[in-house]
């Protein structure tokens, strides 16, 4: 009998599989496919202080072994999430959820995190300082150790729940930034967000994405994500949530061996709405095949 349980900052998860922010909405849309309570938890859609329509279309482009998106943090805003999305979520999801928070200033992050911290259904706060699809904020904080530390410190000053800082792979030294977040009080690190990419429409002779560039995700980025998870997990003393191109139970096991405590699944949910369910079902099979009895002793 295999044991899928993991511990994330003192909160027990029945398994390590977590749909990533931006690929699972606020959970409601996936109820018709399977019971979301089979998940370890999920990270809900990136939420900002004000409502955002997002970037102009087209904002999705297909790629070999992946996709590019430039959605731009489309969301109803923190007040609507508190008034509408979370009350609905509580009616069907009976586990603590991860609140993903975006921002355009240190004050934005602190404001939203303080408000969401008061919600009993929120178990962890994931601070996204790595979105490549918005200007004047987002990734600009996550590419500079001082900026990353400033956001982390401001958020930790107004929250009581574990704070994970979500980092960008579009940097020279991911370890330096992760350490800066840890030193500023982060309880964990989430990585990686999307790589920056683009496609060109040959017939129209212009970029496919209206925003020109967007976030590249999918199976093609998995080796980069795995490398960064390994580097960070072996350099910091806080837990890491690994993500980036994960699409199978074997990918989850690789991430755990690299040092991740839990694993988020992103673009795979957009290709197959049942991706996370399938991974959870496949995990015990792969574990038995590889002689693994529990997931807490895999780190290499």
Q: DSSP readout, 74-104?
A: -B--HHHIIIIIHHHHHHH--S-EEEEE--S
Is 9 designated active site?
no
Q: How many CB atoms lie within 10 A of CB 144?
A: 16
> What does R_g of the chain's alpha carbons equal in angstroms?
18
Contacts of residue 12, defined as CB under 8 A and 6 or more positions apart, other chains included, come to: 5, 6
165 vs 150, 200, 235, CA distance in Å?
12, 32, 15
DSSP strands (E only) in 102-255: 122-128, 163-166, 188-191, 195-197, 200-201, 206-207, 214-217, 240-242
CA 25 – CA 27 distance, rounded (Å):
5
Question: Which one is catalytic: 113, 131, 181, 276?
Answer: 131
Q: Are 53 and 76 in contact (CB under 8 A)?
A: no
Q: How many CB atoms lie within 10 A of CB 176?
A: 13
For residue 264, is the peptide bond before it cis, meaning its omega torsion is within 30 degrees of 0?
Answer: no
Contacts of residue 28, defined as CB under 8 A and 6 or more positions apart, other chains included, come to: 85, 88, 89, 92
CA 153 – CA 185 distance, rounded (Å):
6
CA 72 – CA 174 distance, rounded (Å):
23
Q: Are 162 and 187 in contact (CB under 8 A)?
A: yes
Catalytic positions: 131
């Amino acid at each position: 009998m295999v044991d899928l349980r993991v511990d994330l900052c003192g909160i027990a998860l029945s398994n390590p599989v977590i749909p990533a922010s931006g690929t699972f909405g606020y959970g409601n849309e996936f109820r018709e496919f399977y019971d979301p309570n089979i998940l370890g938890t999920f990270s809900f859609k990136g939420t900002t202080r004000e409502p955002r329509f997002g970037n102009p279309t087209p904002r999705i482009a297909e790629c070999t072994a992946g996709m590019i998106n430039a959605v731009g943090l489309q969301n109803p805003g923190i007040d609507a999430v508190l008034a509408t999305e979370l009350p609905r979520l509580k009616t069907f999801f009976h586990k603590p959820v991860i609140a993903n928070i975006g921002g355009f200033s240190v004050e934005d992050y602190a404001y939203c995190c303080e408000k969401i911290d008061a919600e009993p259904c929120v178990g962890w706060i994931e601070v996204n300082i790595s979105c490549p699809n918005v200007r004047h904020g987002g990734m600009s904080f996550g590419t500079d150790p001082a900026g990353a530390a400033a956001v982390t410190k401001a958020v930790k000053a107004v929250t009581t729940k574990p704070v994970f800082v979500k980092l960008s792979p579009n940097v020279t030294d991911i370890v330096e930034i992760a350490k800066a977040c840890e030193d500023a009080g982060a309880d964990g690190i989430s990585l990686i967000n999307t790589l920056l990419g683009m496609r060109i429409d040959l017939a129209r002779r212009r970029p496919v994405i209206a925003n020109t560039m967007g976030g590249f995700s999918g199976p093609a980025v998995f080796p980069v994500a795995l490398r960064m998870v390994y580097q960070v997990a072996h350099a910091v003393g806080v837990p890491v949530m690994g993500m980036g191109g994960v699409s199978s139970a074997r990918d989850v096991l690789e991430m755990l061996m690299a040092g991740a405590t839990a694993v988020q699944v992103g673009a795979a949910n957009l290709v197959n709405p049942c991706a996370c369910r399938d991974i959870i079902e496949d995990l015990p099979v792969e574990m038995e095949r590889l002689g693994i009895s529990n997931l807490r002793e895999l780190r290499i």
